Chains A and B, each alone.
Chain A
Amino acid sequence: MEFWKVTLSLLDGLQNTCMIFALTLVLALPLGLVISFGSMSKFKPLAYLVKTFVWIIRGVPLMLQVIILFYVPGFLIGRPILSRFSSVIAAFVINYACYFSEIYRGGIESITKGQYEAGQVLGMTKTQVFFKVVLMQVVKRVLAPMGNEVITLVKDTALARVIMIVEVIQAAQNFASYGLMWPLFYTAVFYLAFVGLLTLLFNYLEKKLDYYKG
């Protein structure tokens, strides 16, 4: 009985955890690419602007960013504009997009000039060179660091509690405060399973791209 009650309650928190994880990933993956293009722009002022932004976002704790995004816009305008959940998502997406952008940039810059030039003398457009020649190689190269980031994201979702979003740890802690300890370990098992699945997924993807070297 107690087991089911706890499970249901944890599932509630879990729902938020998973939503934050999935939405952040879906939005930050493409946004990161856009930011990485910005930071590599030949138009220097834009590149510096984007790099400074990335530096700030990566330098300030995510927890603080979540708090700022929840309180400050509402304070400035005089009424709350972002819901708790949207501010968490916004903060996470911006933060993770910046991390991703640096990983993408490393991957893109590691592709030799010769690959672009080979495409160019074969009459490909810039877009074709990027999508047909460069992108797959970048994906292969960024897969491992992206795997690390994604696993960190799973655990970062717990930060949502600083603005009162009940994620899975908060849900477990509520029981602990009544003297019920095992839900904490139950939660730990959940994280292990989640991260385990992701590890398997990334291993699978790396295997899939292992058919060539370079």
Chain B
Amino acid sequence: MAILEVKNIKKTFGKVQVLKGVDFSMYEGEVLSVIGSSGSGKTTLLRCINFLERADEGCIYLDGELLFDGSVHSKASPKEIRAKQLNFGLVFQDFNLFPQYTVLENVTLAPKLLAKEREDYKENKKQILEEIEENAKSIIDRVGLTEKLDNYPCQLSGGQKQRVSIARALALRPRILFFDEPTSALDPELTGEILRVIKQLASEHVTMVIVTHEIGFARNVSDRIIFMADGVVLEEGTPEDVIDNPKHERTKAFLSKLDNK
């Protein structure tokens, strides 16, 4: 069964319909890349799935269970939305680290706040907090930043910041991790370190959805690729299908434009 199933997601801003009925699904442990020219609705799609925007129509299923239904207009409580949101992690293009906290604090903040809602928090507070720190440290180690544990974001390079933000998302153990152009805000020489981290996560079978313009990387790391244009999924398949043998004219045009860069 698919871990994530997105059906007929539609979203309009003002008079512009940005998503015109997006469908896709993915399996646990898969890496799915989303490509497409800028303005095609990739960010909006991720934001709808992550509850940062509310889709006007469509459904989202997680493990076959209905997570979101655009036709239900009674508003879900913030608490319900928060619980659903925690199934997913989102890595932003521009990191959005919390500047006043160290690397370690950035990664532990949300888990510590969340732990306060546990029933056994009062009894086992010390142990719970220690576990959170240990877990955070091991994740920070996985992204190769153990030496920067006590540094502040302003003391890090862009690539290091993005690795912290990946660690921060991983610390909540999301079922699926979403990336919105994780290397677009970086100098070209810094993209490699991010791509390596994502590659490593892929080898650990972390389920991921990656919006990216790094076509070579997408071909290399993805199990499947979807190509979006004008708010719909125009083509989807294996990297060989979509990147090496695109069927649709729009896909061909998009890929050849990138090649010429």
Contact = CB atoms under 8 A, between A and B. Distances in A.
Contacts of A118: 92, 96-98, 165
B52 A213 contact: no
B78 interface: yes
A67 B166 CA distance: 59
A114 interface: yes
B172 interface: yes
A206 to B, nearest CB: 14
B145 interface: no
A132 B109 contact: yes
Given A212-B153, A213-B154, A128 B96 contact: no
Nearest to A116: B96
B154 A212 contact: yes
Contacts of A170: none
B78 A121 contact: no
Contacts, number: 66
A114 B85 contact: no
B99 interface: yes
B256 interface: no
Contacts of A137: 99-100
A20 B152 CA distance: 40
24 contacts: A112-B96, A115-B98, A118-B92, A118-B96, A118-B165, A120-B85, A121-B52, A121-B85, A121-B169, A122-B110, A122-B168, A122-B169, A122-B172, A123-B86, A123-B114, A124-B110, A125-B78, A132-B109, A136-B100, A137-B100, A140-B100, A212-B99, A212-B153, A212-B154
B92 A212 contact: no
Q: Closest 3 interchain pairs by CB?
A: A214-B99, A122-B110, A118-B96
A114 B96 contact: yes
A163 interface: no
Nearest to A212: B152
Contacts of A213: 99, 152, 154
B247 interface: no
A133 interface: yes
A125 B79 CA distance: 8
Interface in B99-127: 99-100, 109-110, 113-114
Contacts of A128: 113
Query: A-side binding surface: helix, strand, loop or mixed?
Result: helix
Interface centre among A118, A122, A123 (most CB of B within 10 A): A122
A132 B113 CA distance: 9
Interface string A53-77: 0000000000000000000000000
Interface string B239-251: 0000000000000
B80 to A, nearest CB: 12
Contacts of A114: 92, 94, 96
Contacts of B89: 121
Interface string B147-168: 0000011100000000001001
A123 B172 contact: yes
B172 A126 contact: no
A117 interface: yes
Contacts of A120: 51-52, 85
Contact of A121 (B88, B97, B113, B153): B88
A178 interface: no
Nearest to B84: A123
B196 interface: no
